[in-house]
Amino acid sequence: METVEMNSVALKRPHAEDDGANADEIKRQKISEKSKTGNDSGQSVETVTEQPDRSLLEDTKNEIIPNEESEEQEDEELEDSDEDGDPESFADMMKHGLTESDVGITKFVSSHKGFSGILKERYSDFVVHEIGKDGRVSHLDDFSVPVDDEVNFEDPSEETFAVLSDEDKQRLEELQLLKNKETSVAIEVIEDTKEKRTVIHQAVKSLFPGLETKTEDRDGKKYIIAYHAAGKKALANPRKHSWPKSRGSYCHFVLYKENKDTMDAINVLSKFLRVKPNIFSYMGTKDKRAITVQEIAVLRITAQRLAHLNKCLMNFKLGNFSYKNHPLKLGELQGNHFTVVLRNITGTDDQIEQAMQSLREIGFINYYGMQRFGTTAVPTYQIGRAILQNNWNEVMDLILKPRPGAEKGYLVKCREEWAKTKDPAAALKKLPVKRCVEGQLLRGLLKYGMKNIISAFGIIPRNNRLMYIHSYQSYVWNNMVSKRIEEYGLRAVPGDLTLKGATAVHIEEGDVDNYTIHDVVMPLPGFDVIYPKHKIGEAYKEMLVADNLDINNMRHKIRDYSLSGAYRKIIIRPQNVSWEVVAYDDPRIPLFTTDLDKLEGKPLPVLPTDGKFRALKMEFSLPPSTYATMAIREVLKMDTSIKNQTQLNTTWLR
């Protein structure tokens, strides 16, 4: 559920219209009409028709790629620039973006009348706490550093972090990583004392593990000489030379962050610690425009060094430190707990009660949210489809061609150059930030040539390449689940699939009364998926045939792009659902306290009983790979796309 804040995308002028999304919509409508029947479930199932008068803000995923290597400072500065623009112009640009119906999100399962409210008017209105595999909710509630059993090992003092100059650190890092031919680095000791020399020795050894130090006299001056303890052997695992055997190799900690996504946060932490981002591990990515609390593990970095960052960094806090012998793995979490405030709501008390009771008792359609599909007129699922079709020229064209929509100015210039010259070197020169998908692909084309697009595309980090085909899977699944709800409503029917353990089985005619809609799963297209024995199975096949794909053979000649099958529940019923309506006058004040507020002793906000605005504060827990915005969509009955929301209200950008 990793997302990027909407106003982090700057403005561009529209280019020629792209007709891909419209073609997909026509195709989907034809498939839908071909097997449409009435709904006899007894439940109200609506198509999105209402246009509310206020904005529900949906964060989106752009194509900025977190590189595995440390990036140049210039990249970071450019990444943060070019963000401001006239809100109305932004709304105009987003007219070319996607709506929910473009990606198959068309149904509701509740019968209440929709109302409006503003989501994420402040990023602190959306708080996420990770739920670990043991069911424990992660909270930041302790800043203390654990004491080692091994008393001979000393963590560096606070003075250590400031004793070396930036130039010293740069030279030492190059020595540590064998980036030059130097065999040692000499650091002159100014104001020579034994204490000062000791601090420098500690600083070098703690900040650059694998280096050893000694003191030498040169021309009447004292120098600390840093050198490799074991050459390339030390480089292979430099931290082992200074890590107690009795201590677990991984420091686990709780990361509290505000308005930063998970990979951005890890890149910042790695930069300040002067380590590579890949020594960090985590169980799931979290939203940017939110306050999020999650567990992180890092290889052989002390809790004291991590705790020091609390004094250096804005919008981050680290705590609840412990040493363990294992890293964290993606997907190990049980889910996430959400605390969400919808401001300036218009619903009556009765409407709110109906909406929240329905969310608690029925749930919501388990759609993939809008952030899965990108923000421009070239949706990520179109690129995924081209990969699955083995149409690499189209993959290259879709990623690099000009498109209408909101993008950073340098990307616009890069695309224009590409359209004009088809010269990867010329286009790359227009792109000062090289760690985006476009920059990676252009680098690949320079390296491998225009006739080897597959290898050029392979330069993009694997997770980001797979994002495209997973987006296509999500696009198909959204369309099919909408059709399933339309055909059969909110009841289990013969031919549906349910899970028994890890195995999918068909629900037979005689057993249908033993199942509810909450037991039903639907497959994501892949080569090892069992397809249902009713109309939806045929609809899957028709949709993929229209895309020149064979549902019975999703193997790709490049193994990475072979879609593996999986099953997904069609209705999710949130757990631990609670809510209250509160009144307020000032939209800038928080409406509840965060973990950090509690640690700092901030009191609960005092709210008026007769404020001029009303807000709905809701809490609920969701399993992994489900979207809180889709739950909120069900409550409000609103289109959560940026295209729709920016047309309704752009005051949130000011």
Give me the percent of the chain exceeding a pLDDT of 90. Answer: 47
How many whole angstroms separate alpha carbon 31 and alpha carbon 190? 78
* Residue length of the chain: 654
Most confident range, picked from 136-150, 163-177, 488-502:
488-502
| SS3 readout for 331-388 | CCCCEEEEEEEEECCCCCHHHHHHHHHHHHHCCEECCCCHHHCCCCCCCHHHHHHHHH
Average pLDDT, the chain: 80
How many whole angstroms separate alpha carbon 94 and alpha carbon 58? 13
How many whole angstroms separate alpha carbon 563 and alpha carbon 198? 57
Other CB atoms within 10 Å distance of the CB of residue 61? 21
Residues 6 or more apart from 117 whose CB is under 8 A from it? 54, 56, 342, 343, 344, 345, 346, 347, 615, 616, 636
Q: DSSP of 249-284, one letter per residue?
A: SEEEEEEEEES--HHHHHHHHHHHHTS-GGGEEES-
Q: For residues 12 and 377, is the Cβ–Cβ distance under 8 A?
A: no
Q: For residues 109 and 484, is the Cβ–Cβ distance under 8 A?
A: no
Residues 6 or more apart from 292 whose CB is under 8 A from it? 127, 128, 129, 130, 256, 257, 262, 286
Q: How far is CA 288 from CA 230, 298, 642, in A?
A: 42, 21, 16
How many whole angstroms separate alpha carbon 17 and alpha carbon 134? 50
Residues 6 or more apart from 601 whose CB is under 8 A from it? none
More confident residue, 371 or 192: 371
Q: How far is CA 225 from CA 11, 187, 213, 222, in A?
A: 52, 6, 5, 10
Q: Are strands 291-299 and 126-131 parallel, antiparallel or unpaired?
A: parallel
How many whole angstroms separate alpha carbon 433 and alpha carbon 314? 23
Lowest mean pLDDT among 83-97, 180-194, 542-556: 83-97
Tokens of 510: 């005689």
Residues 6 or more apart from 233 whose CB is under 8 A from it? none
Buried b / exposed e along 394-410 (16+ C-beta atoms within 10 A): bbbbbbbbbbbbbbbeb
Query: What is the rounded average pLDDT of the residues 280-299?
Result: 92
How many whole angstroms separate alpha carbon 127 and alpha carbon 125? 6
Q: For residues 369 and 630, is the Cβ–Cβ distance under 8 A?
A: yes
47 phi and psi, to 5 degrees?
Answer: -90, 150
Q: Does residue 38 have a pLDDT over 70? A: no
438-478 tens-digit pLDDT: 999 999 999 999 999 999 999 998 888 989 999 999 999 99
Tokens of 222: 């004292």
Element (H, E) at 119: strand 118-119
3 state DSSP class of 503: strand
Give me the percent of the chain exceeding a pLDDT of 70. Answer: 78
The active-site residue out of 24, 92, 264, 287 is 287
Q: For residues 239 and 248, is the Cβ–Cβ distance under 8 A?
A: no
Please give the order of strands across the beta sheet that includes 497-500.
503-506, 497-500, 520-524, 566-569
Q: Does residue 395 have a pLDDT over 90? A: yes
Residue-level pLDDT at 50: 34
User: Which band of pLDDT confidence, cut at 50, 70 and 90, is reported for residue 89?
Assistant: low
How many whole angstroms separate alpha carbon 15 and alpha carbon 20? 14
User: Which band of pLDDT confidence, cut at 50, 70 and 90, is reported for residue 171?
Assistant: confident
More confident residue, 74 or 475: 475
Q: Does residue 34 have a pLDDT over 50? A: no
Q: Does residue 588 have a pLDDT over 90? A: no
Residue-level pLDDT at 264: 87
More confident residue, 450 or 67: 450
The number of CA neighbours under 13 Å toward the Cβ of 349 is: 4
Query: What is the rounded average pLDDT of the residues 163-172?
Result: 85
Q: For residues 87 and 653, is the Cβ–Cβ distance under 8 A?
A: yes
More confident residue, 566 or 474: 474
Q: For residues 245 and 110, is the Cβ–Cβ distance under 8 A?
A: no
Residue-level pLDDT at 359: 97
Q: Does residue 352 have a pLDDT over 80? A: yes
How many whole angstroms separate alpha carbon 41 and alpha carbon 38? 9
Query: What is the rounded average pLDDT of the residues 123-137?
Result: 94
How many whole angstroms separate alpha carbon 615 and alpha carbon 586? 11
Tokens of 352: 């709110």
Q: Does residue 148 have a pLDDT over 70? A: no
Residue-level pLDDT at 591: 92
pTM: 0.75
User: Which band of pLDDT confidence, cut at 50, 70 and 90, is reported for residue 93?
Assistant: low
The answer to whether residue 287 is catalytic is yes
604-619 tens-digit pLDDT: 888 888 889 999 999 9
Most confident range, picked from 91-105, 328-342, 368-382:
328-342
Q: How far is CA 232 from CA 212, 241, 328, in A?
A: 14, 13, 28
> Residue 296: beta bridge partners?
253, 282
More confident residue, 123 or 380: 380
Q: Does residue 506 have a pLDDT over 80? A: yes
